[in-house]
Amino acid sequence: MVGSPRVRLLYDVYHMQVMEGDIIRTIGAHHHVIGHYHTAGNPGRIELDNNQELNYRAIVRAIRDTGYDGYLCHEFIPRGDLIATLRDAFAQCDLGAEGGAA
């Protein structure tokens, strides 16, 4: 309605998983209006790890496949050491082994 390419949506993966799920399909269908992404582990808005219902490697791959080249904001509540937790989040989202950068 605004008609400006400068007005975009923030897609908060954590909140969208809580509210409606179907993250990867939604990103694919609506990436043209998304300007930024936030991450957090679910359940609990915790750090990204293998003990949650979100597969961030697949989500980041879907985001990359849309041509998005902006930032992912890790917005979660760490349970341990902040730096180690942030390193783990980057590792969860790293697509480097697939030939692309996260």
Sort 13 into a burial class: Cβ within 10 Å, 0-12 / 13-18 / 19+: buried
pLDDT per position in the chain (102 positions), as tens? 788 888 999 999 999 999 999 999 999 999 999 999 999 999 888 888 888 899 999 999 999 999 999 988 988 888 889 899 888 888 888 887 565 444
What's the full length of the chain, in residues? 102
Q: Which two tokens stand for residue 81?
A: 């050491």
Instruction: Tell which residue, 48, 32, 46, 28, has the closest CA to residue 89.
Output: 48
Q: What whole-number distance in Å separates Cα of residue 65 and Cα of residue 83?
A: 28
Q: pTM of the full predicted structure?
A: 0.84
Q: For residue 44, how far is the Cα from the chain centroid?
A: 16
